[in-house]
Homo-oligomer: A and B are copies of this chain.
Amino acid sequence: MRELELKAFSRGLRPEVVVWAVAEHDGKRSICPLGWTMRTSSSPPMMAISVAPTRYTHELIEGAGEFVLAYPGRALAQATLYCGTNSGRDVDKFAQAGVTAAPARVVQAPLVQECEINLECRLVDSFTTGDHTIFAGEVVAAWSKEEPGPLLCLTDSSSGYEVLLEDPRFTFGSVRV
Name the B residues within 8 Å of A3 (CB-CB): 105, 141-143
Within the complex, what minimum Cβ distance (angstroms) separates A61 from chain B? Answer: 16
Stretch at the interface among A25-33, A44-52, A82-90: A44-52
Q: A141-B3, A144-B9 are in contact. Are A131 and B37 (CB under 8 A)?
A: no
Within the complex, what minimum Cβ distance (angstroms) separates A168 from chain B? Answer: 17
Of B17, B41, B50, B175, the residue contacting A161 (CB under 8 A) is B175
Q: Does A63 contact B (CB under 8 A)?
A: no
Q: Is the CB of B45 within 8 A of A50?
A: no
Name the B residues within 8 Å of A2 (CB-CB): 143-144, 146
Q: Is the CB of A43 within 8 A of B130?
A: yes
Within the complex, what minimum Cβ distance (angstroms) separates A148 from chain B? Answer: 6
Interface residues on chain A, size class: 35 or more
Q: Does A95 contact B (CB under 8 A)?
A: no
Residue of B nearest to A37 (CB): B38
Q: Does A139 contact B (CB under 8 A)?
A: yes
Q: Is the CB of A117 within 8 A of B13?
A: yes
A-B contacts, 23 listed (Cβ < 8 Å): A2-B144, A4-B144, A6-B45, A6-B139, A9-B119, A9-B139, A9-B144, A10-B39, A13-B117, A15-B17, A38-B38, A40-B129, A43-B130, A43-B131, A44-B130, A48-B50, A125-B127, A127-B127, A130-B136, A134-B136, A150-B160, A160-B174, A175-B176
Binding site for B on A (CB under 8 A): 1-10, 12-17, 35-46, 48, 50, 71, 102, 105, 111, 113, 116-119, 124-125, 127, 129-132, 134, 136, 138-139, 141-146, 148, 150-151, 153, 159-161, 174-177
